[in-house]
Amino acid sequence: MPKGFFTDTTVCIGCKACEVACKQWNQLPDDGFNFTGMSYDNTGELGSSTWRHVAFIERPVPLGGNLGSHFSWLMLSDVCKHCANAGCLDACPTGAIIRTEFDSVFVQPDVCNGCGYCVTGCPFGVINRRHDDGRVWKCTLCYDRQKVGMEPACAKACPTDSIVFGEIAELREKAQARVEQLHERGMQEAYLYGADAAGQPGTGGLNAFFLLVDKPEVYNLPPTPAAPAKTVEQSWRAMAFAGLGMVMVAAFSVLSARGSRP
Amino acid sequence: MMAPRALGSDTYYQRPILKEPVWIWTVPMYFYIGGVSGAALVFGAVTRLIGGPVLRPLVRKCHWVGFVGGGVGSALLIADLGRPERFLAMLRVFRLRSPMSVGSWILALAPPCAGAAAVFGDPVSSLTAGLLGIPLTGYTAVLIANTTIPVWHEARTSLPALFIGSAITSAAQLLKLLPLKLPWQARKALNTFGIIGSVSELAAGWVVEQQVSRVPIVGSPLHEGLSGALWKASKVMTVAGLALSIFGRSRSAFRAGAVLGTTGAIALRFAIFHAGKASARDPRATFQLQRHDALLPPGDDGEPYQIEPETKRQTR
């Protein structure tokens, strides 16, 4: 049964409880105690030891339906999207990255040899190699907790239910209803990001999708992400032609030298 | 449905959206050495088949270069792994969808065939090594093109020709540089091979530049910074090497041409490698390319919005 996250950014309060719960449950090392100086976001990005990241966007733009304010805060708890067509999974040459029975994308730490190819296959810049460990790491969608019927640590810790965990089909209905509710209340800009394959053909839909109120780029999400394997045939074909050319060039060089006189 | 355009910045504080490739210098170095190895195997097999007795001394030398190159290349790749001791996990599965998997198998099979061809000199292993040499020369281009890095993915149909052209140059020039006893016909064959290789390398390089510049910001790493400098240097060296290979009359001019061709080919691989890193660091490359292809309105990827003191007072 496909399971995943629906992250409703309109109710996120930026408390970062998800970040903390994730770190704690998964026993992730710290990623430096850096001060970015750009916003309340001192985490910066998802990475090998940061599997939840709360983005903070400060805009001089009023939010639809909110009167009397010329300013708005947007917050989004970002996570691995567990794409239906996962670029990292396609790229993995060792079979370390697998799709689980819950339809999530999981890196088997006992197989990964840290080749780093998945890092370049992810259209969201999620997966990365850990320097001290040598292997790649990312959100497991709390595979261990799901195995025993528990919800992921971040969803459990979220105090506003901005992060909702459940069956994808149910989450989609819930998300659609929420969008309609927000539209009724005047927040016309609300829309779903990556909810299904129709809306995001490049990834085949996300098992962790979002409700956003501004362009995806504002949240550091790509507008039309795609797993690169869709175009790999073009490259193999181009390589075959160039390879054929190389054989012909070699044959020409050999024959012309063989028949020549000093 | 897309949200209306907001004021301020359309990048997230200009932070990268993609992760930079984690690969170290051994990977572009392998691109070069794997190219040398593959092109030498192809040249060796062709010479074995149609070279006749005059060119026969060249065949084994090509196979040796292919064999040693494959071995050194494998070592360079293993050195890059986060867990080098697990290098054999590469042969745990075979996946057509992953160029890295296909390439690992090719790299695992080619050197033994090349070694057999070098030792026994039989036509079967020579031909097998030659056939494996074709993808060994070009798969690295397919591998990097099959990523989300804008500058690599945009060049996905021209990079293979660039890498193969450059590999032909590399193999020909290296075989010319090695202190080998070769008949003059063999040197002539290598020179022709190298000249056509350099010409195709330059032509393919031009196509790559056109393709990646479809959206200007995507192509900028080939003009700016370290990768831009390497790209330019590579072109200059390749042209100079080509000129010396064609017009050179003395032995030293020939050697200089071979050295320039080799350094040009190495610089090319490092240029492409660093262009990919730069492309991953710049979120505008990803955003502008995707907006362009999805016919979305252009965004404002400039400076992030700064709160003015007056605005602060108003909201209080």
How confident is the model at residue B1, as a pLDDT?
36
Predicted model pTM: 0.93
Q: Quote the pLDDT of residue B315.
A: 45
The kind and range of the H/E element at A8 are strand A3-8
Give CA angle at A81 (A79, A86), nearest 5°: 140
Whether the pLDDT of residue A181 is over 50: the answer is yes
- Cβ contacts (< 8 Å) between A41 and chain B: which residues? 13
For residue A75, pLDDT over 90 is answered with yes
Residues A31-48 pLDDT 10s: 888 898 888 999 999 999
Q: Distance of CA A156 to CAs A21, A22, A149, A151, A153, Å? A: 8, 10, 12, 6, 5
Average pLDDT estimate for A49-72: 85
Backbone φ and ψ of B299, nearest 5°: -105, 180
Q: How far is CA A20 from the centre of its chain?
A: 19
Give the C-alpha separation, A196 to A205, whole Å: 4
pLDDT tens-digit map of A115-141: 999 999 999 999 999 999 999 999 999
pLDDT, tens digit, 9 for 90 and up, residues B66-111: 999 999 999 999 999 999 999 999 999 999 999 999 999 999 999 9
Is residue A79 within a helix (H) or strand (E), and if so which, with residue range? strand A72-79
Q: Given this model, what pLDDT does residue B70 score?
A: 97
**Residue B308: its pLDDT value, please?**
47
Distance CA A166, CA A185 (A): 26
Report whether pLDDT(A100) > 90: yes
Sorting pLDDT into bands at 50, 70 and 90, what band is B160?
A: very high
The distance of B262 to chain A (nearest Cα, Å) reads 18
| Of A114, A218, A258, Cβ closest to residue B83 | A114
Q: How many helices (H) and strands (E) does chain B have?
A: 12, 0
Q: What is the pLDDT of residue B310?
A: 44
| Chain A residues within 8 A of B2 when measuring between CB atoms | 191, 215
DSSP state of A206: B
Residues of A within 8 A of B145 (CB-CB) are 231-232, 235
Residue B307 has pLDDT above 50, yes or no: no
Region B195-206: mean pLDDT is 97
What number of other Cβ atoms are within 10 A of residue A109's Cβ?
Answer: 13
Under 8 Å between Cβ of A193 and A211: yes
Residue linked to tokens 């970040």: A19
Give the residue-averaged pLDDT of B1-5. 38
Cβ of A60 and B311 within 8 Å? yes
Q: What percent of chain A has pLDDT over 70?
A: 98
Give the pLDDT confidence score for residue A32 in this predicted structure: 84
Name the band, by pLDDT with cuts 50, 70 and 90, for residue A58. confident
pLDDT reading at A70 higher than 50? yes
Q: How many helices (H) and strands (E) does chain A have?
A: 6, 10
Say yes or no to pLDDT of B6 above 50: no
Contact at CB, A120 and B160, closer than 8 angstroms: no
Report the share of chain B in percent with pLDDT over 70. Answer: 92
Residue A146 pLDDT: 96
Which of A50, A75, A115, A136 to probe the B interface (max B CBs under 10 A)? A115
pLDDT, tens only, B105-143: 999 999 999 999 999 989 999 999 999 999 999 999 999
How far apart, in whole angstroms, are the C-alpha atoms of residue A92 and residue A66?
46
pLDDT at B26 over 60: yes
What is the Cα–Cα distance from A214 to A76, expressed in whole angstroms?
A: 11
Question: What is the rounded distance in angstroms from the CA atom of residue B6 to the CA atom of residue B191?
Answer: 59
Of A77, A62, A193, the closest CA to residue B7 belongs to A62
The torsion of the CA quartet B23, B26, B28, B30, rounded to 10 degrees, works out to: -130
A164-183: buried (b, 16+ CB within 10 Å) or exposed (e) per residue? bbbebeebbeebeebbeebe
Question: Who among B46, B100, B299 is closest to A217 (CB)?
Answer: B299
**Order of strands across the sheet that contains A191-193:** A163-167, A3-8, A208-212, A191-193
Q: How does residue B237 score in pLDDT terms, banded at 50, 70 and 90?
A: very high
